[in-house]
Amino acid sequence: MLRSRLLPALLLSSAIVAGTIGVPAASAGGVASGDARAASAALKAAASAPAEYRAGEVVVRDATGERVVRVRDVAQAAQSLSSRPGVRSATPNFLARASGWIPPDPGRGAEIGGWQKLQWNFLPETGVNAPEAWANLARAGRPGGKGVVVAVLDTGVAYANRGRFRRSPDFSKARFVRGWDFVEDDAYPNDDNGHGTHVASTIAEGTGNTIGLTGLAYGVKIMPVKVLDSQGEGDSQQIADGIRFAAKNGAQVINLSFEFPSEITKSQIPNILDAIRYARKRGTLVVGASGNAAAAAVAYPARSSDVLSVGATTQYGCQADYSNEGSDLDLVAPGGGIDAALEGDPNCQAARTGMDIFQMTFRASSPRRFLLPSGYIGTSMAAPHVAATAALVIASGILGPKPSPAAIERRLELTSTDVGPAGRDPHYGWGRLNAARATDPTIPVI
């Protein structure tokens, strides 16, 4: 067995500061089980709510054009004006609202929708525009990517109460399907590091409840597959076995948020590359982190042509200074951290520091206390954005009932937001992930 040192594609800032919330384990049971129903109900309620209009304004249309008339009683004035000779219509000045769903998750405080203060990565502009993607999936009848299985190959996931371990309070028990621990070779892939739980939370953390933050594909099922130990390291055979397990057991997307050192070549990890090819032949999309060495080439396993490789961008939309790049880079997504020094790129200011990526997880020393820690940046954090959006695309039905990995990749690439030089480039690949465009049924499939 070849044993190589494997690193989670995560950078820790100089200090990890605990979030201000500590959710007791007793509150975990079933709190997020209604996420999909809550999203759908909220959208339907908003759509069927009484129409609103600007107070004191009526829009009058006649032969001279149209104008806004100020009145005291809108309903009475509209009725009176519409009956006058020459008036084509007189209506209240009705209001329209953005169709994206803004869930009530509070973030660190108690403010409804407070998650937006931390999760810049899910917002429009330099994020992936999750609210519009959530609305697209709700309209498709598959809120949050309901029905899709995503395997998280990592340090495990806080998926169950067992011994000293606790399930994250922002995950319901129903959020998980059977996984495996290839480190201890048993059926209990509990997380003893925190990295895997953070990654899984980006993908599927409870959304639309009153706990913590939001997950991009909150309706999917997570398959926890532990291939990295408590130090975030794992060997090539554990990884290969984990990939094959996930593909055999129904995962439609596999997320790999780790990297081998730059000196590792494809000839040294044939078992992993064979497993990735096996997964792809079974119709499973494999998403991988490009690596954090600021190298001019993507690290393995993401460098494989059978993996959708993901680099990282900052809060300002610039390539992150740690993110590996090169001709094998496919997409970028939010990873947080410091802007790279890219001359001529208007999004970049060398050494400017943006926000981290926040999700609910735990301190490695205490897997029973969950919080929203700072310090998580890296291509590890970027990759699950893409894995989650791939799940949303599958669930949307835009590409048909069983889209191939190649079709999903192409959809994500062609709907991305082009940044940097026009077209594909070594810094941003095809562009920054755009979950709203990827799931928009009005954008043709090419």
* 375 exposure class (CB count in 10 Å sphere: 0-12, 13-18, 19+): middle
The string over 199-225, giving b where at least 16 C-beta atoms fall within 10 Å of a residue's C-beta and e elsewhere, is: bbbbbbbbbbbebbbbbbbbbbbbbbb
Type of residue numbered 173: K
Q: Which of 168, 380, 396, 416 is catalytic?
A: 380
104 shares its domain with 86: no
Please indicate, yes or no, if residue 47 is contained in any of the structural domains. no
253 shares its domain with 209: yes
Q: Which residues span the domain enclosing 85?
A: 55-94
pLDDT over 80 (residue 268) = yes
At residue 7 the predicted structure's pLDDT band, cuts being 50, 70 and 90, is: low
Please indicate, yes or no, if residue 425 is contained in any of the structural domains. yes
Please indicate, yes or no, if residue 358 is contained in any of the structural domains. yes
Please indicate, yes or no, if residue 33 is contained in any of the structural domains. yes
Please indicate, yes or no, if residue 49 is contained in any of the structural domains. no
Tell me how many domains the chain contains. Answer: 2
Q: Which of 154, 191, 306, 328 is catalytic?
A: 154
84 shares its domain with 116: no
Residues near 109 by beta carbon (within 8 Å), at least 6 away in sequence: 20
Please indicate, yes or no, if residue 48 is contained in any of the structural domains. no
Angle at 442 between CA 440 and CA 446, to 5 degrees: 90
Q: Could you say which of 66, 94, 122 is where a domain stops?
A: 94
Q: Could you say which of 94, 109, 124 is where a domain stops?
A: 94
What tens digit of pLDDT does each residue of 85-117 get?
999 999 998 765 445 788 999 999 989 999 999
148 shares its domain with 181: yes
74 shares its domain with 206: no
CA distance 350 to 270: 38
- 380 a catalytic residue: yes
Residues near 65 by beta carbon (within 8 Å), at least 6 away in sequence: none
At residue 429 the predicted structure's pLDDT band, cuts being 50, 70 and 90, is: very high
Identify the DSSP state of 195. H
What tens digit of pLDDT does each residue of 313-332 get?
999 999 999 999 999 999 99
Please indicate, yes or no, if residue 1 is contained in any of the structural domains. no
pLDDT over 90 (residue 258) = yes
Please indicate, yes or no, if residue 312 is contained in any of the structural domains. yes
pLDDT over 60 (residue 46) = no
- The CATH code of the domain that includes 411 is 3.40.50.200
Judge whether 344 and 367 are in contact, CB under 8 Å: no
107 shares its domain with 152: yes
Q: What are phi and psi of 436, to 5 degrees?
A: -65, -45
pTM of the predicted protein model: 0.83
Residue by residue, DSSP assigns 215-247 as: -TTTTSEEEEEE-S-TTS---HHHHHHHHHHHH
77 shares its domain with 112: no
85 shares its domain with 104: no
204 shares its domain with 151: yes
Q: Which of 35, 195, 309, 396 is catalytic?
A: 195
According to DSSP, the β-strands at 87-94 and 376-377 are: unpaired
Average pLDDT taken over every residue of the chain: 89
Q: What is the largest CA-CA distance in the chain?
A: 90
CA distance 439 to 143: 12
164 shares its domain with 68: no
79 shares its domain with 195: no
User: What is the share, in percent, of the chain residues with pLDDT greater than 70?
Assistant: 88
72 shares its domain with 109: no
CA distance 242 to 239: 5
